Amino acid sequence: MEWMLLPLKRYADFQGRSRRLEYWMFTLFVLLCALALMAVVFVLTGFGSSGSGMLSTTFLVIFGLAYLAILVPSIAVQVRRFHDRDMSGWFVLLNFIPYVGGLIVFVFMLLEGTRGPNRFGPDPKDPAGVNNLGEVFS
């Protein structure tokens, strides 16, 4: 659960690097929350029966507010994932390319980050650089 909530703790932190685990666990958390909220909407509105317009509108507003609440941490964790690949955070703008942009970003989010420190900070898998000690002393 810690990995799922870490991007919320680093709400608007666009600096540093994030592991794949942090990104995908946060994505899973957002998906599970959305599914749970949709299940509540379907149960309370009677699966779309008539007379539930006000309740549906209320939940639509709740969905919108929830989306706005996670928008900044979602962008921030994606920027940090690009940083982990030693790429600029501006690559997030690839999402705006119709059809292929989201697919390109999806592939980048699946790829492993660079090993060791890069220009955006230490390796999040090995922040102390323990695995690189052999390189230092050789």
Beta pairing partners, 121:
118
pTM value is: 0.81
Q: Which residue has the higher pLDDT, 2 or 92?
A: 92
If you average pLDDT over every residue of the chain, what do you get? 84
For residue 37, pLDDT over 80 is answered with: yes
pLDDT of 74: 93
**pLDDT bucket at 1, cuts 50 / 70 / 90:** confident
Identify which of 29, 40, 18 has the alpha carbon closest to the alpha carbon of residue 85: 18
pLDDT single digits (tens) 54-68: 777 777 888 889 899
